[in-house]
Structure formats: C-alpha cells, structure tokens
Structure 1
Amino acid sequence: MKKRCMLILLLAMLGACKKSSAPAGSNGSDNQIQLSVSAPEAGYVYVDGAYTGKQAPGTIAVTAGKHIISVALQNSYQYLRKEVNVTGAASVAFVMTDKPAPKVWKALWIGLYETKGITTSGECSTHFSKDELDQGYGFFQWSLQQHFEKYTYNTIHWDVERKDIELPVTLTRSNDNWFTAEPSTISGILPQIQPGTYDCVFVFWRESEAACSFKSGYFGLAWTNPLKENIKTGYVTVKFDAGTSITNKISYYKTNDPGVWVHEWLHTVGENFYQDKGLQLPRKAGDGLVVHAAEMYNYTFPWMDWYRDFMGGRVVNNSGTPRFLGIGPEAFLGCSVREKAINSCRD
C-alpha cells in the first residue's frame, strides 16, 4: 500500500509538471482560447505586438483577458488592430476602418552645396548644384514611401523639412582618413536642431569631384544611440558618389541597391532605441551592429527582405525565445525619438 501511494503521488506530480505555459498566439494548449481571425486580404497576425507565426485568415490561441489583436496586410502594407477582451472562442473580423492613425515622425533633410576638407594632397572641395540636390532629395522621398513607411505597414508617416546649406561645410577627418560631416558641425550651422524637434537628421553631400576625393569606407553612416547625442536626435549622413551623372547613379541604386537610406536610419533605432524599450531584436553581428546581422539570419543582398522583416518583427529566432525578433508595427505606434528626447511620452 505504501508503494502504491508513493506511485500515485509521483504520477500526480508529473501531471502537474505538464501544465502548459504556451504564449499568446500559440495553438491548442491548456487555458488557451481559440480565435478565428479574418481580414480584407492575407496578412500576418500579431498578438500584443508580437508576431504569432500565423496568417489571416486563420486561427490563433490566446489566454483569456485583454489583448491587442492585429494584422499586417501583405499586399497593401496596412496595419489593422483591435483591442479585444477575450472571454471565449470568437471571431475577430478586421475591416479597413480598423487602421490606426499613423505616428508622425519628423525628419530634417539637409543637402550640402559645398563640402571641404584636407586630403593627403591638400585642401579641396566638392559641390552639388541645386538640381543635383533636388535629385538627391527625390531619392530620399522615394525611399520614405517605398521602405520607411511601407515596411512599418504605414504605422509611421514622415513629416519632412528640407534645409540646404549654402555655406561651405568643413568635414572632419579621422586618423584612418574617414571624412564625416559631424552632427556638431551641422547643428552649429543650423541651431534649430534641438532635442525634441526632429526624430532624425539626414545629410547628403558629394564624395568626389574631379581631383578632389573624400572616399572612405562607407556609403552611409549613422550615429547609433541618438538619445546619448547632444542633439538627442537620430543622425545619418550619406556620402554620395555622383560620378559623371547623379541621375544615372540614383537610377542604379534604386534598381540594384535601394536600401541605403532605410539601412542607415535603422541603425539609429535598431541598435539601442527599441532595445531600451524592452523589445527583442536580432543579435549583433561580428562588428557589434544589429542591422549588419542579416547573413546570420540567412538573408541575402540587397537585404530588402531583411529590412522588411526586421521592421515587421518577423525575423525567425532559431536560438530560443521569443520565436520572432524585430520591431513590429505596434512598436512604431509608440513614442518616437524626439518624444523620448524630451520625455513627452511613457513607453
């Protein structure tokens, strides 16, 4: 009898250990409630901002209680969301009016007419004309629509101010001969760049002209921790090799390597900003930068699927939990850099 009692006790203990702790969005475990999700078109289903690995139309399982159920539409790149109090099995049907108002992010785009610096052959300058700067700005606006806003499923709308600098801008030269247009240099010329004014500043200038060359090992460059900068603003500089025709060069990049603008902006928010909010992003590459980890997750050049999944919070995590890594549309609806800079929001 004593042995039998011990066996019953052991079986009871093993039964208790089997109790599921499956996360919201998983299927068919204890305390999980089935939800049928439909939308105007096929889309990725999220629960409380996290991608479930499921698509609409389809079924997900969640715990009882209040949840944000949402769908990122695959074709139209729109984001639909509902706040749902789950008490039992139900259907959640999305319509286009479930689209939230986008979060407004503010950018300052700056074109430099003249950049000067001291090279190994002496001081020289490169120049852009008004027409060339207009084309550079058009390239940026194209990327805003095709990448920045699209890959957030239009949860962000960019309000852009343009301010070109006509005075010569002196480049900073590092010991390894990198030439940069530093944030302190630009903000010294444009004092309106202050914490809380912009989410990101984008600076566009010419790399080479005739015998004057500021070539160095980057195309775009970003400062990766904006809230630690004096201006508390994201900062990106694009050093553009226009060659003999900026029109042809921009056409080439749009076709073959279109991600320069969004890549650099992601450095400003994807290295520290969203991690500091508690989001789980991909691990760092060998150079210590998260945005450079594409190959570690089996993405290939020109990396546009990487940027899309990174921003959509759908990078598959093969080394543990959570199942998917990245930012996600729900996070983009939260505080922006400029709001965090002046503590005007809570998340």
Structure 2
Amino acid sequence: MDKSTCKFKISPKELLEFFIERGELTIPLISKELDLSMPTTNKLISYLYDNNYIINVGKGETGEGRPPSLYKVNNNIGFFMGVDIKKDFIYINLMDFGGNILRNKNCKYNLENSYKGIKDLCNLINETLKEWSVNKTLLKYIGINIPGRIHTEEGMSHTYFSFLEDPITEVLEYELNHKIVIENDTRAMFLGELFLEKYREKNIVFINVGWGLGSAFLVNGEIVRGKDGYAGELGHFYAYDNEVLCHCGKKGCLETEVSGSAFYRKLMDSLKNGKSSILSKKFNNNDRITLFDIIEATNSEDLLCIDIVEHIGSELGKHVANLINLLNPELIIIGGSMAATGDYFFLPLKSSVKKYTLKIVNKNTNIVLSKLNDNTGSIGACFIAREKYLKKMTV
C-alpha cells in the first residue's frame, strides 16, 4: 500500500513487520513505541486481526488496572521454503510466517549448468513439498540460493543456468507453480547468520569458504549489494600467476588456490603422486571422493589433509588482512564448508592476518569461525523469501 494514500500514519504492512521483529505486543506498547494515538493503533490492530495476520494470545502484564490484550503474528497464515544449492547437496528448510523453522533436510544433488540440473532441482523440491505435506496455497514464496553472480531483482543467474534465455526465476515458477526469489549463496548465508546470531556489530565481513570462495558485507548496518547485486566476488580477485583455470574462465583467481575446490584438487594431485592419506584406499579403488569426505578426513587427523588445509588457511589470511586494512570492520566471520575443519584452518588464517595487517587498523577487529552449519544458507533463503513476500504485499 502506498503510504501517501494510506489512511494510517503507518501502513498495516509496516505494523506487521514490527510484529515480526518484536514478537508479542500490546496496543499501549505499540502506541508508545511507534508514536501513534490509541485510536489509530486500535484501527491498525483491528485491520490486521480481522485479516488474520495477527492473533490474540491472552493478556499482557501490567502494574495496575485491566491488563491489555497481547497480540502476535499468526504463524500459520503463510509458509516459506528456503533452498540452498551446494556442489553435491541441496539444503531445504520450511519456515512459518513468524520465522520459526519447522522442517529441514538435505539431499544429494549434482550442481550442473544444464536443463537436467534444473529438472533435478525441481524434482527434489516437489518431492520435499509432498513429503512434508505442505499446503501449497499457503506456501507464499520459495527462496533459492545459487552460487555465483546473481541479479536478484531481474531473477537472473549469470554463473549457473546462464544458458537460459528467460530469467531462471520465471523458469522455476513455471516448473514449480510457486513464486520464486533467488539470491547469491554467500549473501544468503550471511543473512541467515545475521538473523540467527543477532550480531550487534554494524560493520561485518562474512567469508564463505565452500567449494568456491565468496564474501558479503554489512556496512553501517546495511547489506552491500553493489549496483547490480554482484558485490562480494572475493574469489575472483587476481592473486596468483598460475595456470589453473577458474570456472569463471580466467586464470590466477584467488579461488583457484583458496577454496574447497582447490583443497580437492591439491589432495587429488597429492594422491596421484603417491602420498598417503586416510582416503588413499577410496582413491585407489576409483571410488568417488567428495569435499565432505576430505573435511571428515582432516578432522580425523589425516596429516596430508591437515598440511593442505593449513596452507589454504594461511593464504586466505593474507587477503583477509587486505580486507581489514581496506574496510576496518568490527567483525569478520569465516563460514562455509572449510570452516568445519576448525583450528586446522583457522589458526594459520589468524596468524597470517596478524602478520599482514596494520596493527592500529586490526586491533579492534574480531575474527570468528561461524558456529552455524551448512544449513544456515537455506534458513537465510527462508528469510529472503519472506522479505520478498512482504515487499509485494498490498495491505
């Protein structure tokens, strides 16, 4: 609803967003905090209540007099699905209107830039909707995270599924018969992290070290997207004079030496050269080895894997140091699959940061490993889906 034509000082949608942010509220509290008259607040509450957006959950506490009615978001008025696409898996979450995660799962999925990749993705989503008995009329939006360069507003993916003439959102909406919003996987992971961890810092760098390497930024409390939404391509900084071809088509990208795919390539090369590892038997039997297997081997104290991951951590630390010198953030969060190797990765990274940063710039920057798992991205996708729905609402 256009605020200029709205009969309320704030729109019912804005009050609904306030409920989502704050939880249970009374009319006097809303009136006080939003600087609204009691009659105006009553009208807004009546509108949302009559349209089933909020429900009465009893009486609020009060020091004296009659206790006021307590209201909260009607969680069951709509649901949102979040889908996070990884190299070998997809993670799926279902969230109610109030932001509660109801169901989650992960499935094997081979990410490939083809029609088969799209068909397999749609099949997995439809199977999950059926398995969870989701009421399709109440599923408001599906948020899908895709690695690479994503133009969220146009619904275009310029890395995976880039062969399509139409926006990937339109193709998926046709196949799934649901509204779709897409986002870059790293930015969605960061948003999930922000929603779940409730960080107080206003200047944060998030680095996703998964199969690839990406980053996302919070500056003065605002997510940085760039003009077309492509901000954060840390993995494609020119960093090495090597002959390793990046998936972007260029050579020398940071991602070619610092990423899960680099970890995988380096380990495979070492095994081909006869070096010993917990994974040697699988390698010699030509069994499929995944990044998850390699991380598991690292955490089982495989010396070859530890050597490689320590080197990658040290290399990433140099570039984290550059970001600190450039942006002077309060907090840097290291997330993604590689973060699961813990101190094997993190300690060399921190040592490298200390070596290459300016002390005066670095002294108030805290660096932490994400405490969340790979499920964070799909949770972030749920929140993005709800944000998109709220943006389109006309109440």
- TM-score (ref. length: structure 2): 0.29
Structure with bigger RCO (C-alpha 8 Å, 6+ apart):
2
Q: Whose strand proportion is higher, 1 or 2?
A: 1
Q: Whose helix proportion is higher, 1 or 2?
A: 2
- TM-score (ref. length: structure 1): 0.32
